[in-house]
Amino acid sequence: MTKPNFIFKTTSVFVLCLLSLTLSFAQADARAAQVEPSYEVVLQVVVGSNDAAQKNNLPANLAVVTKNLRNNFSFSNYNLSDTYIGRVANTGSIEYKTLSNNFFGQAQNSQTPSFLDWTLGSLRSAPNGKGQNMIQIQPFRFGARIPIVTASLRDESGKANSVVNYEAIGLNMHRVSLPENSPTLIGTLPTPKTGETIFLVLTVRPVEE
């Protein structure tokens, strides 16, 4: 083999290897640059009570959850107190803080609202052993500071004024799993009001891009 032919063949092999490596790196970069799928997270706060003044007002999407509640609890009424919606990408988190004048069926009073906050961390989607898509969250936290009337005092005019203290209630879960696109009861919280309980229902569904 002459020297020029040897140099040409060696150079050609080197160029082909370089092109192959460049193409491989480009494909890897393209895969790495893909956007993670997104999910819509819906947290619904349901209040169960025996208050005759309350009427059942749960939406149709909670029919399965309602059946579960009636099988396990003896409340006569179940009402939707609040609904919160957030959007998050796979492995993402949500932190939500707000106030409410309608939490656990309290009377509408803008001077003594409830302060709510909930956190959802590291949302991941993966199939279970049956091939069903599952959502895993780590952690999930729901907390509230709610007004409690502890006394009633009268001022000089004889008008009664309530003494209100705020008490904290909450639920913490280090890790929780639930089916994708299926309303799931993930926890309960008793309230200071006798015969009343809060039910937290979480739904996570993929967002069509």
Residue 10, CB-side half-sphere exposure with 13 Å CA sphere: 7
Domain ranges of the chain: 1-34, 39-206
- Identify the CA nearest to 200 among candidates 80, 114, 88: 80
Size of the chain in residues: 209
Tens-place pLDDT, residues 121-172: 999 988 888 888 899 999 999 998 888 878 888 877 878 787 888 888 899 9
Residue 155 per-residue DSSP state: -
Contact 206, 37 (CB under 8 A): yes
**Per-residue model confidence (pLDDT) at position 160:** 79
**Per-residue model confidence (pLDDT) at position 209:** 65
Torsion sign, CA atoms 117, 122, 123, 129: negative
Residue 202 neighbours by CB distance under 10 Å = 22
Tens-place pLDDT, residues 160-201: 787 888 888 899 999 999 999 999 999 998 877 778 899 999
Which CA distances in Å does 166 have to 114, 144, 146, 160, 169? 8, 10, 5, 19, 10
Residue 187, CB-side half-sphere exposure with 13 Å CA sphere: 18
With tokens 């609040």, the residue in question is 82
Share of the chain above pLDDT 70, in %: 78
Contact 80, 45 (CB under 8 A): yes
Check residues 17 and 126 and name the one with the higher pLDDT. 126
**Per-residue model confidence (pLDDT) at position 196:** 86
Asked whether the bond before 59 is cis by omega within 30 degrees of 0, the reply is: no
Residue 155 neighbours by CB distance under 10 Å = 8
Tokens for 204, please give them: 């996570």
